[in-house]
Chain A
Amino acid sequence: MDFFLTLLVKGLTLGCIYALVALGFVLIYKATSVINFAVGEMMMLAATIAAVMVISYGLPLGGSIAVTLVIMALFGILLERVVLRPMIGRPVIGMIMATLGLGIFLRGVVNITWGVETKAIDLLLPRQPLSVGSVSVAPLDLAGVGITLFLVALFSYFFQRMRQGIAVRAVSDDQQAAMAMGIRLPTVFALMWMIAGLTSVAGGLVWGAKIGVDQYLSLLGLKVFPVVILGGLDSIAGAIIGGLVVGATENLTAGYFDPHVGGGLKDFVPFVLMMAVLVVRPYGLFGREIIERV
C-alpha cells in the first residue's frame, strides 16, 4: 500500500507539472486553433535562456527570470507575426508542419548557440523532501504543482472575467463574428502567443530544475499530446485532469511493470492510453464536441 501511495502521489505531482506544459498548448489551440508541435522546444528555449543568464552573465535568479519572461514574450509575438500570420487560412496540415519545422529549427538554433551540454537551473528551493507519513514529496515538485494551480486559476479568471479573455473566447468560437463585433484578431493572436511564451517560461523553469536543461527537455513537448487529447484540446480544466491521469497512470504502470519488461514504460503507456482515447472519444473528456463526418 505504501508503495502504491508513493507511486500515486509522485505520479499526480508529475502529472500536474505535465499540465503546466499542456497549458501553453491548450491556450494557443483555444484561441487561434493552431496546433503547436513546438511547445516543448519553446520550453527548452526559455529554460536555456534562464540558465545561460545565470551561468554566463551572472544574473541573480530573479533577474534571470525577468529577462527570460521579456525575451519569451517578445519571441511569442514575433513568432505569431512572422511565421503564423502568413499561414492563416491554410489547411490544418500546413500549420502542423510549420510548427514541427519551428520545433526542429529551435532545437538546432539552441544547440548551436548555447551548446549541447546539460545546464542546471537552481530555483533555490530546499532539497529536503517533505514527508507526510510514508509519502514524501520534493519541494520542487510541490512548487511545480503550486505554479500550475496558480496559472490555472489565473487563466480561468482571464477567460471568464476579463474583457480580453472574453474576446479570446469569442474569437475561438467564430472568428468572423468576433471581427464583426469589433475584436481585433491580430491583437488577440499576438496576445495569446505572448502568453504562451510566458507560460513556457514557467514550464521551462520547473522542468529544467527537475531534469536539467538540454535538448531532451524538448521531448517533453511530445508528452503533452496524451495529456491534451485525454483532457480535450481546448479545455484548461481538461489539461490539468488529463495531466493528473497521465502522470498517475504512467507512474503506476512503470512502478509495477517496468522491472518485468526492461523499462521505458513511461514513454509507452501514455501513448497507448491516448490511442484508446482517440478511438473512443477523440474530443477528450472536456473538449468541445465537434461533430464532423470523416
Chain B
Amino acid sequence: MINRECGIFKTTYQADMALYTVPLARITVAGFLAFFALILPFILDVKHLVWANLVGINLVAALGLNLLVGFAGQISVGHAAFMAVGGYTAAIMTSRADMPFWVGLVGGGVFAAFYGLLVGLPSVRVKGFYLAIATLAAQFITEWTVNHVRWIGGKGFQASIIVPPAKLGGLVLDTEREKYFLILAIAIVATVALLNIARTRLGRAFVAIRDRDIAAEIMGVDIVRYKLLAFMISSFYAGVAGALWVYYLGNANIESFRIVESINFLAMVIIGGLGSVLGTIFGAAFVTILPLALEDILQNFKGVIPVSDIHSFVAHLRFAVFGGLIMLFLMVEPEGLNRLWRNIKDYFRVWPFPY
C-alpha cells in the first residue's frame, strides 16, 4: 500500500499474487488496522464519526460495483436498486419477523444476490450499452415496486419502514461510535474478500471476460456462469451495504436508493480507479466526504458568498463537481486516483536517486 517496493524482486507467481506484496506490508497493514480500530473512533467527534460511517457503508457498496464494472467489465446503472432490495429485506426481517440483525444483514445480502442474478440475466444475451439500459430499467422497476407494493413499502411516507437498531448479544448498537465498529468490521471483511477474489481463479476469470470475452471463452472460462456470478457477488455486496444503511439510519426509505445514488457509486469507482480495491477506498472516501466537507467549509463563509441556502447549493455543486470529475478522469486518467497514487509511489521508489 504505502511501502516502497524498491529492491523487491519477485521470482514466483505466488510471490506476485501474495496479499502482502512486501514483507513490511504486514506491519503497515497492522498499523492501519490499529489506527482505524483503536485510535480514529476515539479522536473523532460525533460529526466526523458520521462521515466515517458513511464512508464505510458506501465503501462496501462501491466495492461490489467495482467488482462488477472494474473487474468483470459489466456496467450497471442500477446499483442502488440492489441496495434497496437488501435494505428492505433486512428491514422487513427485523421489524416484522423479529429476527436478529445479523440474520437481516446476511439475508439482505443473499436476497439481493438472487435479485442480481435475475437482473444479470440479460447480460447473457446483451452487453455494453444494452446491459446498461437493462440495469437502468431494473432501477426504475425496483423503485416503483418498492413504492407501490404495500407489503414491501408499508403504508408509511415514501415507503419507509422503521427499523430497530442492531443488537449484538445484549449490546444495542445505537451510538455513532458503536455503529462505527460494526461498519468498520464489515468494511474490512468486504475489502479483504474482494482482494482475495481478485487474486484467485474467480477474479482472473472476471478480468479475462472484461478484457476480451471471446478470448476468455476460448480459454475455457464459462462466460454465462461467471457473468452471472459477478452480478450475484456484486449485488450481495450492495445488499449488505443496503442492510447496513438501513440499520445505521434506523429506517428504510426509498429516497436513499434512487438512481442518483447509483450514479454516485459509479462516480466512486471511476474516480477511485476501475478494477482496483485501493482505488475504491480512495473513491468512496473522496466522493462521500467532499460534499460534506464543502458544506462545512462554506457554512463558515455564510455571509461572504452570495448564496442563501448553502445546503441545497452544495447539493447542486456536488453534481457539477462529480460530473466534471467523472469526465475529467475518464479523459485524462481512466485509471483514477489509484493510478495517481501509483505514480507518486513510483516516483519515490528509488528516490533520491534518479534511477
On A, residues with C-beta under 8 Å from B are: 35, 83, 86-87, 90-94, 96-98, 100-109, 111-112, 116, 222, 225-226, 229, 233, 261-264, 267-268, 271-272, 274-275, 278-279, 282, 293-294
Contacts and interface: CB of A to CB of B under 8 A. Distances in A.
Contacts of A97: 75, 266, 270, 326, 330
Nearest to B137: A271
Contacts of A293: 214
A105 B137 contact: no
Interface in B222-272: 223, 259-260, 263, 266-267, 270
A294 B330 contact: no
B313 interface: yes
B156 interface: no
B316 interface: yes
Nearest to A222: B136
A100 B141 CA distance: 20
Contacts of A86: 331
B326 A100 contact: yes
Given A104-B322, A293-B214, 15 more contacts: A35-B129, A92-B128, A92-B129, A96-B128, A96-B129, A101-B322, A104-B263, A104-B326, A108-B316, A222-B140, A271-B140, A278-B133, A278-B137, A282-B125, A294-B124
B133 A229 contact: yes
Interface in B128-149: 128-130, 132-134, 136-137, 140-141, 144, 147-148
Interface in B320-355: 320-327, 330-331, 334
23 contacts: A83-B327, A90-B334, A93-B73, A94-B334, A96-B132, A100-B266, A100-B326, A101-B324, A102-B323, A104-B260, A104-B322, A104-B326, A105-B324, A106-B323, A108-B317, A108-B318, A108-B320, A108-B323, A233-B129, A272-B137, A274-B133, A282-B130, A294-B125
Contacts of B129: 35, 92, 96, 233
Given A229-B133, A275-B137, A278-B134, A98 B327 contact: yes
B31 interface: no
Given A112-B313, A294-B125, A264 B133 contact: no
A261 B148 contact: yes
A271 B125 contact: no
Interface of B: 69, 73, 75, 77, 122-130, 132-134, 136-137, 140-141, 144, 147-148, 213-214, 223, 259-260, 263, 266-267, 270, 312-313, 316-327, 330-331, 334
B75 A108 contact: no
B140 A93 contact: no
Contacts of A264: 144, 147-148
Given A107-B323, A109-B320, A267 B125 contact: no
B140 A267 contact: yes
Contacts of B132: 35, 93, 96
Given A86-B331, A94-B330, A111-B319, A262 B148 contact: yes
Nearest to B267: A101
Contacts of B334: 90, 94
Contacts of B259: 222
Given A104-B322, A112-B316, A278-B122, A272 B141 contact: yes
Nearest to A228: B133
B330 A282 contact: no
A90 B152 CA distance: 41
Nearest to A96: B132
Contacts of B323: 101-108
